[in-house]
Chain A
């Protein structure tokens, strides 16, 4: 049995760290695989906003920006308004870590702080919408095979 305050997801990519870094820290890159529209200067302390046509907007703040090694932002739980001051009861921390490998890059994503979230913010409807993510993937494949 596992009881976790954090999740970690990893993937081995056959691409150099710079290409992966550009895909996770530029609006052009993120718009292609993460959000419909992502806005940020990507400077530490500045806001970042993710917009999805189907799910709405989730916003946060850049916490770490160390080129080609580590990128992190804290974002509000789904449904928390953009102006709301973030704390541990209404937000989680997402950290991307890039490690060079002989084949390319190992990318680790760690999201922490779930068990500190206020109970009323544990809205699973956005989080568990697997069909939504599946259709996004289909759209992406269609884009590149057009």
Chain B
């Protein structure tokens, strides 16, 4: 089944190292303005704004006006699909390694 358009923009937004780091930062430190983020990251404020626009389009972040600042915060619901997918792969490897362990135990007893 092909992913929905919203899923596509979600994964495209996640397919960039800087944007993943922006998400991590917003997750760990809460709301931030583009200027605050530019102070943390080794890229310009314009670069930060470009990435934030992509994250906004994917519904990964939301923005609100506070005085003269625009503050960005994470929308964690959108990440559920991506994290569930990765967690499935994780548990699949965990099961495979358990199967390997069982196999080694059986063959070495013979």
Contact = CB atoms under 8 A, between A and B. Distances in A.
Interface of A: 1-5, 7, 9-11, 13-15, 19-20, 23-24, 29, 32-34, 107, 109, 111, 114-117, 119-120, 122, 124, 127-128, 130, 133-134, 136-137, 140-141, 144
A20 to B, nearest CB: 7
Interface stretch (B5-13, B31-39, B40-48, B64-72): B5-13
A109 B93 contact: yes
A26 B77 CA distance: 43
B2 to A, nearest CB: 6
Given A119-B8, A119-B11, A144-B106, A7 B89 contact: yes
Contacts, number: 115
B27 to A, nearest CB: 5
By secondary structure, the B interface counts as helix
B46 to A, nearest CB: 24
Contacts of B14: 3, 115
14 contacts: A3-B14, A3-B82, A9-B90, A9-B93, A9-B96, A9-B97, A11-B97, A14-B105, A15-B108, A19-B108, A115-B14, A120-B3, A130-B88, A140-B106
